[in-house]
Structure 1
Amino acid sequence: MFPSHNGALGIDFGTSHTVAVVRRRDGRVQSLLFDSSPLLPSAVFVDGDERLVTGRDALESARTAPARLEPHPKRRVDDGTVLLGDREWRVVDLFAAVLERVRRECVQVMGEVPQDVAVTHPAVWGAPRREVLRKACGRAGLSKVRLVPEPVAAAYYLVEQLDHAVAPGTSILVYDFGAGTFDVSVVTRRARGFDVTAASGLDELGGIDIDAAIAAELRERVGEVGDWNWFSHPGTAAERRGRHDLDRDIRLAKERLSRQTTADLYVPILDRDVHLTRAELETLARPLLDRAVAVVRSVVEGAGVRATELGGIFLVGGASRMPLVATLLHRELGIAPIVVDQLEQVVAHGALSSGHVDRSTTVSDTAAVKPPSEASDSRDSPLLASRSTTAPVSPAVPAPAPERATTPGDPEPVTPAVMRTRTDEDSPPERIESSKRGSDMYHADTDPPVEDQDDAQGDGADVTPRAARLRRRVLLAGGLGVAAAVVIPFALSGDDPPARSDDTATSSPSPSTSGDGRRWASETFLEDVDVRALALSPDGSVLAFTREEALELWNTSGEGIDVLPYEEDPTAFDTGDRMTFHPDGDLLAVSREGVGIWEVSRRERFATLEGDRRTPMAFSPDGRLLAFGRDDQVLVWDVTTRTTVTTLTSSAWEVTGLEGIAFSPDGIRLATVGGGLESTILEVWDTATWRRTFSPEAVFDGLGGAVAFSPDGSLFAVSGLGSGRIQLYEVADWKRADMLEAPGGNGNHLQFSHDGAILASNGRIETSGRLDLWDMTTRQRFTSLPGSPLLHRGGDLTGIAFSPDGVTIVTANDSSIELWKPV
C-alpha cells in the first residue's frame, strides 16, 4: 500500500517549457502529459478566432503566421503587453493561458485541483514579477497557490528525492541552465526548509543561444550569405518548413553531442550535409558558458561561502546536459556536479516535496539576490585559494581524477555524479504515469471557472490505471533468494536486502545452469503487462515496449518515463509488434500496421511510413538508413532527408513478404530473408550498389523467422519459424557453418550478446515461453538442471534484448517482463 497523502500539484512555469507533476492521495507521483509529452511548450499563439492556443499546437500554427506567436512569454514579464498579430495582449493573459492548460489537464487526471498547488519562479524575481505570476494563476483557476523559488524546489528534490545529505547551515549551489535563461543560486538549509542566500542569472543566455551559435556556424560553412535568406526571413511554406526542421535538427544534434562525439545535420533548401563534432560544439559554446561561470563565481562570493564549504553542486535545466558544463564547474569550484536523468522535471518534482516540510519557504530577506545585469564578470576570486581535488560523488560513481594543468581552450573531461530517484525498500517506488491529452484553447476575455475545492471528490480516482505492478525478485537454487531495487541499469547489488513477504512467488522457475557452470536467475521487472514487442536503447537507459494501445518508456531502475498513445489498430496483427532503436537511441521505430518512428527525447512522432503489417526493420549502423518491407519489396529510407534511397525487389517475398532483415555491423551488407510456405530464401545485398551479392539460397523448408549478425560480423544466424532450427553462416564466403537445433524452438527472435559469446533465441514448453541460450564457442545450447529450463511463465516470448554490458537478458511475453542474470 502507498502511504496516505493529500493531493498536490507542482508546476514549473519555464521560459521554453512548462512541466507539471501531481501527487495522488495514495502517494503516487505522476507527470502530466501534454500531447503525449511531459514538456509543454510555453509558447502562446493567437488564432483567427482570437483564442490563445498553447503548447505544440501553438508552435505548429506559427509556421504560417509567425507574427501571432510569442514563443517565450516568461521573458516578457516586465513588458505589460505584447503585440501578437494586430492586437496587444496582456502578458498576464499569456501566462494564464499556459497555466490554465495545466489546470485542465490536472482536473482530467485527478478529477479536481488539489488544495496544495506550488508554482515555481526564478529566485531573482522581485515582488512585481511574482505578482504577475500570482494574478495569472488566479485567472487560470488556481486561486490558492504557493510560490516557490526554483532553486529551493531543486534543493528539496536533491534532499527529499535523491537522499543527498545537506546538514542545517550547509549551502549548495543550484546551476539552472534552461532553454531560455540561466540562473544560479546558493541555497542554505535551515531548520525548517531552505533559504536562497545569493542568486543571479542571465536572461539572455540559454540553450537556444547555443542553438543560434550552431546556426551561425552552419552559415559560415555552407553557401554564401545570400543563400540563407530563407532561414532568416522565410517567405514560403517550404522555407518555413525548412527553418522549422533545421531548428529541430540543431537542437537534436546538440543533445546528441552530449552523449556522442559526432553528429550530422542536414541543411534543407540548400541540400547539404554538415558534420559536427563535440569539440566543435564546445568551441562554439565555450564563450557563453564562460559567462555563466563568471556569474557562478560572483554568486558564491556574494553568499560569503568558500567553494570547499559547499555541500554540492546541482545541475538543473536541459542545457546543463552538455559535458562541458560539468567540466567548467568542476575546474572552477573543485566539486563534481550532481546530474539526474530528467533535468527538465527536477523543479516540478521538487515543488511537490517543498510542501512536506515548510509551506512558506521563500527567498531569504537577507539573500544577496542580484538581477542579471549586476552579475560580476570579475575573474579574480578567492574561491581558487583552497580548491579540493577530489569531489564528493555518489558511491556508484568513481571520484574524478585529480586536476591537471590545462589551458583555457582545453578543458579536461569530468564525469559528474549521476544520481537517480531513490527507491524505498519499505514501499513500492513512485512511478510516473500517463495522462490523457487535454484541450489547448484558452479564452482570455472571460475568466475560467475556479475549481470548487471544498466540493471536489476526495477519492483521487485514477483515470489512467496501470495494471502492471512493480515487483522485483531473484530466485536462486533451493528456493527464494533476495530482492533489490537498484539505480544502476540492469545490475544487482552483491549485498541485496532480504525479500519482502509480498515478493514470494512459488510458481517461478528455479535457476538453470549453463554448460560452463553458470546458473541463470530470473527477476520480474514488470508483471501483469501484455507486451507485444520490446526493445532496449543502445546505452541501456530506456526500455521500450508496446501494449495494445500504448507505447511505454521505462528507465531501467523500474520507473515509468512516459506512455505514448499508439493509435494503430491493436487487432491488426495479433502475433505482436516489432520495434528497434536507432543507434543513437533517440529514434524508435515501431511496426504494427505500418512503420511509426518516434523521437524518444521529445516524445513525439518523427515520421509515419507506409509498410507491411509487423514488418521487420533495421537501422544501418551509422543510423542514416532504415530498411523495412512494403508490398513485397524492401524500402531503404534515408532518416536525415526523409526520402526513399532505393527499393529492392525479389520473387522470394511474393508469398509471405519479408520475414527478416539485418545490416552487417560494418554497414556494407544488407541481409534479407523471405519466401513462402514451402521454403525460406536468404539473399545478401551490397549497400553501395544495392545489387544482390549472394545468390538466393533455400535455408529451410517452411517459413523463416528472425535474423541476426554477430557483433564482429563474422557470423549470420537465421531461424526457422516453429522448426526449432537455427542456421549459421560464415559471412566471409556465405557457407553454412552449423545448424543449431532445439525441440520446441519458435524461431521468431534472435539476439547476439554484445561480445558475440551467446546467441539468444526463443522456444516454448507447454504454456510457458522458453529462453534458449547458445554458447557460440561450443555451438551447444546451455544445459539446465533437470526439469528447470529457462522458463518465462505465460505465453510465447515477444521480445529478447541484451543489456549493453551483456550481464542481463530482458525477455517479455503476455504476462510480464523478466530480467535474466547469471548467478
Structure 2
Amino acid sequence: MPAEYLLSVDLGTSHTVAVLVWPDGRTRPLLFDGSPVMPSAVFLDPGGTIHTGRDAERLALTAPERFEPNPKQRIADGTLLLGDREVPVAGALAAILGRVARTAVESIGHLPNTVLTCPAAWSEQRRATLHDAAAKAGYRPVKILTEPVAAAHYYTSRLSHPMRPGQALAVFDFGGGTLDIAVLERRQDGSFGVLADGGLPDLGGLDFDAALVAHIGETVKQREPDIWKRLENPSGASELRNRRELWEEVRAAKEMLSRSSVAPVTVPDMAQSLHLTRGELDQISRPLLARAVAETQRVFGLTGRRPDQLAGLFLVGGSSRMPMVSKMLHEGLGIAPTVLEQPELPVSEGAALAFAAPAPVTPPAQVPSTPPQSPTAPQFSPPMRSGSLPPVTPGTDETVTLRRSGPEKAKRKIPPKWIAIAAVVVVLAIVLPIGWFWLTNPYKQKPFDEELAPVGDVTAFAAEPNDGIYEVRVWEDKTLFAYTTASADPSGEELHLRAVDTASGYPLWESDVVIQGTGWDASYYVSDDLLAFSQEADSSSETPYRFYFLDWKNGDTRNTIDSSDRTAARSGDHLVIAPLGGNTFTVYDGDGEKVSTWDLGNAEESVTVSNWDLVGTPEDLKTPSTRANGNGRVWAVTSDNVAHVYDLESGESVAEKEVQTVDDLYFAWDNLLYVAVDKETGYDLNVYDIDEGLSRVDEETITSETPAPDQVKACGEELVCVREPVEGVTDVYTWQVYHPEKQEIVHVFDEREYRYISPLGDRLMVEHYEGDDVRTQIYDKGFDTVGNSTDDDDFEAIDGGSALTWPAASGFSANTGNVVGLGRDGTRTSLRTDLEVYSCDASDTRLACLTLEGMQVFSFRDA
C-alpha cells in the first residue's frame, strides 16, 4: 500500500480532473462545484485575479475578452491576452493547479506529492512550463507522466486487463479540443514506452458541438431568423448569455444521445423546443470521425503492427463517450474498443495508480485475456525492487539418512572401555551427518541483529538529485549507487554513479562517474565482473539505445554498445541483448566484448522474435542475492510459433520445435519448458523436456472461470506456480501449484484473497489480504502454515532461510518505512522503524540505501 497521500492531476484542454490516493490505496476524485470534472477555463478580472472553472465561464459573460476557455492549447504562445493584459500561460495554468491544490488541502489538510499528466508529444520546453506552473501554485517538485501511459496503467490495473512485456495497447484520447493517439508497449519492468503517436490538434468535442449548433441553426434560421441572427452574432451581455445557453443545451443533448435516441434542445427566446436524434448526431459526426479513424490507422501503421496484434484499444477523454466513436473505430480497425461511462477519469486515476502502487517483488509476465500476436520480453532481466535480479524460487527440503546398526550378533561380555568407545562412535555417526548437513544446508536460518547499524560514513551526493533516477545494486562486497541531477548540458540532466565497498561503506571510486544526457533506464545489470546499464541516447537513430559497460574497480567505461532495443537479461557475468520484433541475439561479457551471436526467424519473411527469456535453475534458490540468473541457456519463440533453446556462451542450438503459438504463456525452469494455453473453460499447462528435443512430457487441464493465467513462475526446486487473476479485482489472484515429478497440481491457493507468492529457500512467502491490509505467511513444502503471519509485505529473500523488507522507492522523494527481517520459521525481527530513503538494495548481511544525506550502507547481521 502507498505510504502517504498522492495527488494526480490531468489538466486537459477543456477539463481538469484530479484524483487523491489515500495511504490505504483508496482513490477518490476531487469535486469542483460538486463535479469531478472542472472546466480548464480562466478569467482575469480588472483587479488582476485569475478565476477558474465554472466561475470563469460565468464571468466570461460580463467580459468575453478577459476569458480563455482552453489555456493549455495556447502553451506554445507563451502568453495569453486577457483583456488589456498579457498573462503567461504558466500563470494561467498555475491558477488552475492552485484551485486543485486548495481543494486537496480542504479534503486532507495538506498538499501531498503530485503527479501531472501531459500529451506524449509534448517537448521538454512545454513540460518545463507545466513544472513552472506547479511551482507557482505552491506544489513541491512534481512528476510528469504522459497521458497515454497513465491511461495504460488504468487499463491494466483498474480494469484488470493484464499485458505481457512486449505487447502493445492503443490509447485514443478524444478530448474537448484535440485528439491524441498513441500506441504503447509494455516494457520488461512493467512500465510503458510509446511506440508511435499522433493525433489531430483541430478535432475535438468542440468541433462536434459547433457542427450540431450549425445544424440546429438551420432550423432556427428558417423558423425564427431574427433569433438566429442574435444567437450567431450576439451583442451585449443578455445575447451572450443566450448564446452560451444554446451551446450548453446542444452539449447536454449530445451527452444525452449517448444514452437515448432523442434529446430535446431548448433554444433561448423560442417558445417551442427542438429535438436532436441519434441518427442526426451520427450523420453529422461521421465525416469528422472519418478523419479520426484515418489518423488512428496511420499511427498504427507507424508501429508495423496490425490492429489485431494489439492487446486492446482504450478510449479516454469526454468526447469518446459518443457511441459513434466506438462504432466507427470498430468498423475501420476491426477491433472492439474499450470505453467507460466516465472516460474523463482514467488518465488522472491511471497516473495515480502508476506512482502509488508498490512495485511487485516479482514483476508479472502478463498475457491479455484476448492474446494478440506480439512480442514478450524476458522475465529475468528487469530490475526488481532490490535490483536487476530475477524472481527467487524456493527449493525442496533435504533429508538426512542416519546410520543404522547391523544385525544383532551372539551376546558376549564387552569391557566398559569398549562400551564407551562404541557409544562415542554411535553418537558421532548420528551427530556428524547432522552437523555436516547444518553446515552445508543452503536453507538454514541465520539470526538477525537487534537493530540496523550504519557501516562507515555517508558518502554525500555530488549534486542535488532531481528525482529522475534513484537506483541501488548490491553484489557481495560491491555496491553501485545511481542518481540523476540537473545539468548545464543542453539535455538538462546528468547521471551520477558511485561504487562503495559493501563491507566497510568506503567509496571504491574517488568521485562520481558523471555521464551527460537524459533517457536513463532503471535497469542495472550487475555481477562479479559485470556492471552495465542503458540510455536512450538518440531517439532519431536506428540504434537509439546505448549500453555502457563499466569497470567495478575505478568506474572507467570499458565499452559502449549501440542497439535498436534495450531488451536485455543478465546470465552470470554475461549480458544478453535481443530486440523484440528482431532476429539477432548477442551475448557480451563484462568488458562489453561479444561472446556469441545468432539469428532466429527470417527478417525478409517478417518472422521475428516474439518472446524470450532465460532458462531458470534451482541453484539460484540457494544464494538469491548473488544468483547466476539461469543455467546458461535462453529460450525464444518466433512469430512462426517455433520454440528455440540456445546455449549462451557457444551460441549453439540446443532444441527447436513448434510446440504451441506465440499467443500462449511460456516459462522455462530446470530444463523444462512450460506453456499455458488459454481455453474457453480454463487452460492447459503443457510441459516439454528441453534435453529431449522439446518432447511433451505432461499436459494438465485446469478448469477455471477466472481470466487467462498471466504468470508462470518457479516456486520451488520441483514446483511451478501458475497465477490466475480474479476477475474484477486488482492485485488479487488464485495460484495453482504444479509438481513436474508427480505430474499433477499438488495445491491450489484459492481460499483467501491472495496477492503474490515469493520463495524463501525451500518454503513460500505468501501474501494475502485481510481487509485492506496485506499480510505475509510462511508455508512449508507440504503447504502448511509456519508461525504467525506478519503485517509486513514486499519481502525479498536474501539467502535460503531469511528475507528482508525495507521502504519502497516512491519515485518522487524520500519514502519512510520500516526495515524488518523474516525467518523461514515465521519469526519477525524489527530492525529499524521510520527509515527515510530514496531507494535501497540488500545482500545477505547489508542494506545499502540512497538517503537524504547521501549513500549509506547498513548492517543487519555479521558478514
Q: Same fold (TM over 0.5)?
A: no
**TM-score, normalised via structure 1 length:** 0.44
* Structure with higher strand content: 2
Larger radius of gyration, structure 1 or 2? 2
